Amino acid sequence: MTQQAPPSLTEVEPYGVDRIPDADRTATPLDLFRVAFGGANTFSTCVLGAFPILFGLSFWQGLAATLLGLVAGALILCPMAVFGPVNGTNNAVASSAHLGVHGRIVGSFLSLLTAGAFFSLSVWSSGDALVGGAHRLLGLPRSGVSYVVAYALFAGLVMVVCVYGFRFMLFINKIAVTAATALFLLGAVAFGGDFDPSYAGAHAAGGPGAQSLFWPSFIGAALIVLSNPVSFGAFLGDWSRHIPAGAPHRRVVGAAFLSQIATLLPFVFGLATASIIATKAPRYVDPGAPDYVGGLLAISPGWYFLPVCLLALIGGMSTGTTTLYGTGLDFSSVFPRLSRVQATVLVGVVSTAFIFLGRFGLDLVQSISTFATLIVTCTTPWMVVMMLGFFTRRGWYDPDALQVFNRRQRGGRYWFTHGWNWRGLTAWWVSAVVGVVFTNIPGQFVGPLGGLANGIDISLPLSLATAAVLFLALLALFPEPRAAYGPQGARLVRTADTPAPPITGPGTGTPAAGLAPTEA
């Protein structure tokens, strides 16, 4: 089928989470790279990059933790990119195949929480940078009113882009990738003279327990870095669904992987500048009240204030749109009375209110970083279930049966037990609980069993292993219906000869409608 020309930037995207026709998929794996990289090549990623220094590591220790977290996170994330081209819909809808028609709300809920955390992080960090830069350049007071106006204005701009949809967001990210990269490289000139790679870190000062704090700090820093790529797991399908179904999987997966590896640039920028702040303005990296944005402005030469403001504006727009767009898209399917546009605006307003609450009523830095880490701890097992499900299904799905929930219907290949696949759901929630219980974030959150490994956070490897072993074991002990698998049958697991119930409900023409498979 011949593909149509891409729609205009100012044409509001008509698609919700329904399957996008092949003829209307005009994106490429390069576009996926641009959106995913643009969404992370931002000021908020710099804030995450500063955490190794806040945890007391040296520059080289922090760099090692950053590389470990980034590569591990990219490897976990990248397989999630293939669901979009295969099914033409987002990843939460695709999870119906493994969690059940109703169980897919787990993915929707996780994406909503993730978007709230990272949208808040982008608006907060960018708003603070804009107010701080305006104060240094124009003498604008750093009052509560200034922050409220900056946050509200910035959040409003992000919502406008998301309302127009994918093409407008892609346009913004094309600009953001080039502009933000140039501004980060310009930062090498601005801070090159002050940067000392031999910065030894807070633990080097010695003292009681200094050595015992290294590994908990190192692992904790790596996990915070890892949270950035993994946070895109629920959103990759929002963008990759615009890629034609025939696109080679290796190119789609490769684009997702490289988009995260490329974010080493903002991570190292945050790491390097945080080490300078710790040396020249240590009050800004006090673990009790860290202020990376204020510290960056304090050490910046005067001529770099404007680039910092531009970096905050461009990068924040990119991160904010990539998180808010997908959540508004999925939220509209959970609550069908809301259109994609209405759902996007609602989620954006609620997230903005959370920013105001965190900024003026809570410790925003600690709240967001803790929240983001816990969300990733719960999201990663969900991703494991999805990826193992893709493997056992040989990448085969029935796109029509995936839409049963969105059409308010019943039955189909993925109905399982009253719309719930308890195998995938059990593997997810048990693994998520294990992850939270063993979480150990220094100075922020320690689960009931978080201290069993001498303060080292082992939550992620435990939750990953638990999800993989438990899900495969449940599939082996309690086989899924044969109808859930494609013509080539299951891989690695057995199936049961349980017939799939017919699809019934609104818009159903015949009792058996929707049971004819459509191979993507």
Answer for the pair 514, 401: CB distance below 8 angstroms, yes or no. yes
Q: How far is CA 447 from the centre of its chain?
A: 23
- Identify the pLDDT of residue 516: 39
Sign of the C-alpha dihedral computed for residues 77, 78, 83 and 88 taken in this order? positive
Q: Which helix (H) or strand (E) holds 400?
A: helix 399-402
Our CA angle for 75, 47, 356, nearest 5°, is: 115
Residue 80, C-beta contacts closer than 8 angstroms, at least 6 positions apart: 91, 232, 233, 236, 237, 256, 383, 386, 387
The bridge status of strand 480-481 relative to strand 440-441 is unpaired
Measure the CA–CA gap between 18 and 170, rounded to whole angstroms. Answer: 20
Tokens linked to 288: 């009790």
- Identify the pLDDT of residue 204: 67
Would you list the DSSP string of 441-479? ETTTEE-TTTTTTTT---HHHHHHHHHHHHHHHHHHHSP
The crossing angle, in degrees rounded to 10, of helices 305-334 and 105-138 is 160
Residue 165, C-beta contacts closer than 8 angstroms, at least 6 positions apart: 12, 13, 325, 340
Which residue has 């990248």 as its token pair? 78
Q: Is 249 helix (H, G, I), strand (E, B) or coil?
A: helix
Measure the CA–CA gap between 7 and 350, rounded to whole angstroms. Answer: 30
Residue 250, C-beta contacts closer than 8 angstroms, at least 6 positions apart: none
The pLDDT tens digits for 358-402 are 666 555 556 666 776 777 788 999 999 999 999 999 999 998 899
- Identify the pLDDT of residue 196: 92
Which residue has 């031999």 as its token pair? 198
Measure the CA–CA gap between 150 and 135, rounded to whole angstroms. Answer: 12
**Cβ neighbours of 248 (radius 10 Å):** 10
The b-or-e profile of 451-483 (16+ CB within 10 A means b, else e) is eebebbbbbbebbbebbbebbbebbeeebbbbb
Answer for the pair 372, 464: CB distance below 8 angstroms, yes or no. no
Rounded to the nearest 5°, which phi and psi values hold at 122?
-70, -45
Q: How far apart, in Å, are the Cα atoms of 103 and each of 176, 374, 424?
A: 36, 21, 9
Which residue has 């002050």 as its token pair? 194
Tokens linked to 155: 């959040």
Q: Is 98 helix (H, G, I), strand (E, B) or coil?
A: helix
Q: Which helix (H) or strand (E) holds 273?
A: helix 264-280
Length of the chain: 520
Q: What is the pTM of this model?
A: 0.83
Widest CA span of the chain, in angstroms?
Answer: 75
Measure the CA–CA gap between 472 and 338, rounded to whole angstroms. Answer: 37
- Identify the pLDDT of residue 518: 36
Measure the CA–CA gap between 221 and 53, rounded to whole angstroms. Answer: 9
The b-or-e profile of 13-30 (16+ CB within 10 A means b, else e) is bebbbbbbeeebbbbbbe
- Identify the pLDDT of residue 481: 95
Secondary-structure percent of the chain, ordered helix, strand, coil, rounded to 5: 65, 0, 30
Nearest to 82 by CA among 91, 95, 72, 93: 91
pLDDT in tens, the chain (520 residues): 445 555 555 555 556 677 888 888 888 999 999 888 887 888 778 888 998 998 889 999 999 999 999 999 999 999 999 999 999 988 988 999 999 999 998 988 888 777 777 777 777 777 877 787 777 777 778 777 888 888 888 777 777 777 766 667 777 777 777 888 888 899 999 999 899 999 988 776 554 455 667 888 888 889 889 888 988 888 888 889 989 999 999 999 999 999 999 999 999 999 999 999 999 988 888 766 677 878 888 898 988 888 877 877 777 777 777 777 766 666 766 776 776 677 777 877 777 777 676 666 555 556 666 776 777 788 999 999 999 999 999 999 998 899 998 888 999 999 999 999 999 999 999 999 999 999 887 667 788 888 887 777 888 889 999 999 999 999 999 999 999 998 999 999 999 999 989 998 876 543 333 343 333 3
- Identify the pLDDT of residue 512: 37
